[in-house]
Homo-oligomer: A and B are copies of this chain.
């Protein structure tokens, strides 16, 4: 079974603390990385978690606030010094490209690899080897996007007994069926559905970025396996959440509940709180399958049916 993991590289909000770095989250599957935001310090978190600098990678930027993007500059430079060769895809608000290119010109650094900038907009923003990534508008103080990283559907279970019973010899023809293509045995055509179970849906990781909660985000995140949601404030600090266009832990839980997700990860905690146990307690009153992200934590996204 292919592992799909989420690693939290930075879990603070606007300012870092001694324990929490600025926002960055790595979703990994079969060597491929989807990086969600890239706050200052992300490249050192890559080192600590041994995420290679030449991996097949896409970066999804939610919005152009410094705490979510400044780490990109050092990451790009260090990738270049490490002689990265693979192209890097960056999805984000369109002025991100302008900022990176201006910075490159002023700080005089070239890159050893190609960067493909794709503008974020509602709908499918990029298809990678393992994922289809969708975006939706978030509600923040500047243009902002939420993302859903959808693992591509995986083929159904293959039944060797059925294939043998239909006279398909083991080897190349089995592989072809497993890849979803029909084969001919003598005069007879055997379809993949004759020897395989139904296709299994891919797993889905949702990420809100900085946002107020909304019914449209709950629809966007419907049924996802892990929802990572803005939880900057405690329930009692809702006024601050309203003013700064963030969410409270309780509001994150309400979105998770409305979206019927499988698990909720709280992150982007305000530096004002010494600990976050009370935020988790408050959220669990609304949505029990809640946990608090912490820097360096890796969670495996479970099978949809398990």
Residues of A within 8 A of B (CB): 14-18, 21-22, 40-41, 43-44, 47-48, 64-67, 69-71, 73-74, 77-78, 81-82, 95, 98-99, 102-103, 106-109, 142
Cβ-defined contact, A107 with B64, below 8 A: yes
Cβ-defined contact, B71 with A40, below 8 A: yes
Cα-based distance from A40 to B78 in the complex (angstroms): 12
Closest to A102 in B: B102
Cα-based distance from A98 to B108 in the complex (angstroms): 14
A258 to chain B, nearest CB (A): 31
Cβ-defined contact, A107 with B40, below 8 A: no
Cβ-defined contact, B74 with A70, below 8 A: yes
Closest to A50 in B: B18
Copies per complex? 2
Inter-chain contacts of A103 with B (CB < 8 A): 66, 99, 103
Of B48, B74, B82, B95, the residue contacting A66 (CB under 8 A) is B74
Inter-chain contacts of A22 with B (CB < 8 A): 74
Can you give 9 contacting A-B residue pairs, CB < 8 Å?
A: A14-B81, A16-B74, A18-B48, A66-B73, A66-B77, A67-B77, A70-B70, A95-B106, A99-B107
Inter-chain contacts of A98 with B (CB < 8 A): 106
Inter-chain contacts of A14 with B (CB < 8 A): 77-78, 81
Cα-based distance from A198 to B78 in the complex (angstroms): 52
Inter-chain contacts of A43 with B (CB < 8 A): 15-16, 40
Cα-based distance from A274 to B18 in the complex (angstroms): 26
Given the contacts A70-B73, A74-B22, A107-B99, A82 and B15 also touching, CB distance less than 8 Å: yes
Cβ-defined contact, A16 with B47, below 8 A: yes
Cβ-defined contact, B69 with A44, below 8 A: no
Inter-chain contacts of A69 with B (CB < 8 A): 107
Inter-chain contacts of A48 with B (CB < 8 A): 18
Cβ-defined contact, B109 with A66, below 8 A: yes
A45 to chain B, nearest CB (A): 10
Cα-based distance from A43 to B22 in the complex (angstroms): 11
A210 to chain B, nearest CB (A): 13
Closest 10 CB pairs of A and B: A99-B106, A40-B74, A15-B78, A66-B107, A66-B77, A16-B44, A70-B73, A15-B81, A102-B102, A64-B107
